[in-house]
Amino acid sequence: MGWLSEASTKYRLRWKRRRLLFRALRKRRQLSPVIDRTSQIKPGAILTASTVRNEAVRLPFFLEHHRKLGVEHFLFVDNESDDGTREYLAEQPDVSLWSTKHSYRLSRFGLDWLTWLMIKHAHGHWCLTLDADEILIYPHHDTRPLPALVEWLERTGRSSFGTLMLDMYPKGPVKAQEYRPGEDPFETLCWFDAGNYMIQKQPKQQNLWIQGGVRARCFFAEEPRKAPTMGKVPLVKWSRRYVYINSTHALLPRDLNLVYDEDGGEETSGLLLHTKFLHTIVEKSAEEKERGEHFANSELYDAYYDALVENPDLWCEASTRLTSWRQLEAMGLMSRGNWI
């Protein structure tokens, strides 16, 4: 019965992909253009797509870092920011911006909106789908920008690139060290948990389900299986028939999720350095608990938000200080694989 079960799974996933693509088509009416510069997108340009709300503090570094990596155009959806995010993005010459007042949660946490924009503007392009608090790095990213990486991925028959999301945090109470827009956040968020990760393969979607890091240690120690998942596939040679299922943790068609070596070897991979724990997290957590827009069952995360509002110190004696991408590769948190 194995072949029959597999055929049934493929059939159900095919129809799920079609339903999600249709959702995106319907949700396009929720988007209003603020500034559309997509006519500037050149053939072969690498794009970034992101939904944001009140990220004026993070965006200057986010944009500059990914520009240096080789991103040529950014597709943003602004979800009712009131801190200058919308105005700042509208001024950026390589940004196209849409706005919406509709529910982030009911749009599959922004995925419906981004799926429509990528259908329309990212087909045939390598596209990096990120949150504003995620900073992409990979082996040799400082000397080998994204055009070199995607050229190698294409040459070796790959259409997607996987990462671990690594939570970075300060030493001392998170609110104690103020961050200013444009600064390198990793001068403040320079610590991480190096070794407390659990990993399993999801047989249905064939993606890796990774949990651990400081959030599992500090907020989900009693129920680690409720901790956020850390494996992502953010960089994809996009097609209008593709769709993300759950954040960027998994895609359909599911072959795009095979960003690891099933025989136990090392596949080339990167990291999303997570800047969630800037000093702004205390006020943001109180706001997001009230809004209830960030988790499908927000009540499960009330204690998580309450702990963040208390301005915690996430550092411990086992914390590791960030020194370089080579350190992260040596620890096995990312891998150059056969690249370079």
Say if 338 falls within a structural domain: no
Say if 157 falls within a structural domain: yes
Confidence of residue 1 (pLDDT cuts 50, 70, 90): very low
Helix (H, G, I), strand (E, B) or coil at 273: strand
Confidence of residue 292 (pLDDT cuts 50, 70, 90): low
Say if 185 falls within a structural domain: yes
Q: Amino acid identity, residue 26?
A: R
CATH number, residue 182: 3.90.550
Q: Please, which residues bridge with residue 34 across strands?
A: none
pLDDT at 203 over 60: yes
What is the rounded distance in angstroms from the CA atom of residue 60 to the CA atom of residue 135? Answer: 12
Angle of helix 2-27 relative to helix 111-121, nearest 10 degrees, comes to 90
Q: Give the pLDDT score at 295.
A: 59
Q: Give the pLDDT score at 309.
A: 87
Tokens 């500034």, located at residue: 35
Q: Give the pLDDT score at 121.
A: 98
Task: Give me the DSSP letters along 43-59.
Answer: TT--EEEEEESS-TTTH
Confidence of residue 69 (pLDDT cuts 50, 70, 90): very high
Q: What is the mean pLDDT of residues 156-178?
A: 96
pLDDT at 48 over 50: yes
Q: Give the pLDDT score at 283.
A: 85
Say if 337 falls within a structural domain: no
Q: pLDDT of 3-22, one tens digit each? A: 777 888 899 999 999 999 99
Confidence of residue 287 (pLDDT cuts 50, 70, 90): confident
Is residue 81 within 8 Å of 132, Cβ to Cβ?
Answer: no
Structure tokens at 128: 């990096």
Q: Give the pLDDT score at 24.
A: 98
How many domains are there within the chain?
1
Mean pLDDT of the chain: 93
Say if 29 falls within a structural domain: yes
Q: Amino acid identity, residue 216?
A: A
Tokens 């596939």, located at residue: 233
Distances (CA, A) of 280 to 11, 49, 77, 89, 133: 44, 23, 21, 20, 12
Is residue 191 within 8 Å of 322, Cβ to Cβ?
Answer: yes
What is the rounded distance in angstroms from the CA atom of residue 334 to the CA atom of residue 340? Answer: 14
Helix (H, G, I), strand (E, B) or coil at 302: helix
Phi, psi of 257 (to 5 degrees): -80, -10
Q: Give the pLDDT score at 2.
A: 73
Q: Provide the 8-state DSSP code for 173.
A: B
Helix (H, G, I), strand (E, B) or coil at 215: helix
Say if 322 falls within a structural domain: yes
What is the rounded distance in angstroms from the CA atom of residue 73 to the CA atom of residue 79? Answer: 19
Q: Give the pLDDT score at 293.
A: 55
Share of the chain above pLDDT 70, in %: 96
Share of the chain above pLDDT 90, in %: 82
Domain housing 224: 2-330
Q: Give the pLDDT score at 304.
A: 82
Let me know how long the chain is. Answer: 340
Q: pLDDT of 236-269, one tens digit each? A: 999 999 999 989 999 999 999 999 988 777 899 9
Say if 336 falls within a structural domain: no
For 199-203, 210-214, 251-255, 261-265, which range has the lowest pLDDT when averaged over its residues? 261-265
Q: Amino acid identity, residue 249?
A: H
Residue 223 CA to chain centroid, in angstroms? Answer: 23
What is the rounded distance in angstroms from the CA atom of residue 263 to the CA atom of residue 17? Answer: 28
Residue closest to 244 by CA, chosen among 16, 10, 51: 16
Say if 84 falls within a structural domain: yes
Q: CA geometry: angle at 48 spanning 50 and 58, to 5°?
A: 55
Q: Is the pTM of this model over 0.85?
A: yes
Residue closest to 64 by CA, chosen among 167, 161, 185: 185
